[in-house]
Amino acid sequence: MTRTTYREGIRTALRTALHDDPRVFLMGEDVGKYGGAYACSLGLLEDFGPERVRDTPLCESTFVGAGIGAALGGMRPIVEIMTVNFSLLALDQIVNNAATLRHMSAGQFAVPLVVRMATGAGRQLAAQHSHSLENWYAHVPGIKVLASGTVQDAHDFVLEALADPDPVIVFEHQYLYAMEGELELGPARASPWRASVRRAGADLSVITYGGSLPKALAAAEALEAEGIRAEVVDLRSLRPLDDETILASVRKTHRALIVDEGWRTGSLSGELATRIMEGAFYDLDGPIARVCSAEVPIPYAKHLEDEALPRVETIVARAKELVARRG
C-alpha cells in the first residue's frame, strides 16, 4: 500500500489498463501532449503512442460517438470529457446511443464504453465548468454511474468500469485531484456497485458521494467532539443505488441527512429521500434532511462559491438539528 494522490491513482489505473489490454485506448481533449486537463494522463502519450492516447478536436459529440463505434467494434475505449458541463454536447450520443443499443438490438450489441469526466465546484472555474450533474446520468437506464470520493476508488473505478460490458460513466470531482490517500494495487477491494460505510455511528446517517465525502467525514469528526456519532455512507455507485446498505444504516441510526452537491430541485438527494421513505419510513425518528448547493449558477468569486456549496459547517448544523428533534 502506498500513499498517493487522487489523480495519480487514476493515472496508475489508466497505465495498467493500457499495458494489460491492447484493445484499450484513451481519447479526449488534451489527454495526449498536454497530459490531461487535470494531469491524469501525463506521460501516457510518451509510453503508449498516439494510437493509444488520442488527442481529439473540441467536439464532444464526435469523439464520444467515435468511442461508441469503437466499443461496438470490439475495442475498450476510455473517453475523457473535460468537465460535466461539456458533456451536455454529447448527451445525444450517451443517452440515445450508448444507453439504448443493447436494448434496441435485443442484446446482440454491447457497448463497453467508459466515459470519465470531472464534476463539481470549488476551484473558481465559474458557471460553465463547475456544476454537479451526476443525477442527470443516474436517471438514464442502460448506463451505470460511479462517483469516486477516495484515492482507492478513483483508481479502482477505472478498471472496474472497463471490465463491465455496458457503458459506465465515471465522475471524478475536480476538487479532489490533489487529495492524498492510501492506494492498494491489485484487484478491487470492494465491488464498485455497493455503498460503503466510511465511518460507523449510531445517532444519524450522513449519506453522500464524490466530492462531498471528505466534507461529510470532517463534519462527522466535528460532531463526535459534541457527543454526536454520525455514520457516513459513501454511495460510490449512483446507478444502481445500493438500497440495502442505505436502508440498513437508516434503520440503525433512525435519522438521515443527505449531502448532495447537486441542486435540490430534481436532485439525487430527492430520489434518495424517497427510497428511504419507501423502505424505512417506520424506522425514522424525524424528517429526512438535505444539504445541497444553492440554486444558482456556481459563482466565480471565492466567497460566493463557498457559500453556494455544501459546507462542513452547514452539514454540522443540519445534523445537530436532526438529533435535537424527537420523533
Q: Catalytic residue positions?
A: 60, 129
Instruction: Specify whether the CB–CB gap between 231 and 200 falls below 8 A.
Output: yes
Burial (Cβ within 10 Å: 0-12, 13-18, ≥19) of residue 275: middle
Instruction: Specify whether the CB–CB gap between 208 and 258 falls below 8 A.
Output: yes
* Closest-CA residue to 254 (of 208, 207, 219, 203): 203
CA 164 – CA 112 distance, rounded (Å): 6
Burial (Cβ within 10 Å: 0-12, 13-18, ≥19) of residue 265: exposed
CA 6 – CA 22 distance, rounded (Å): 25
Q: Which residues is 205 bridged to in the sheet?
A: 231, 256
- Report how far apart the first and last C-alpha atoms of the chain are (Å, whole number): 45
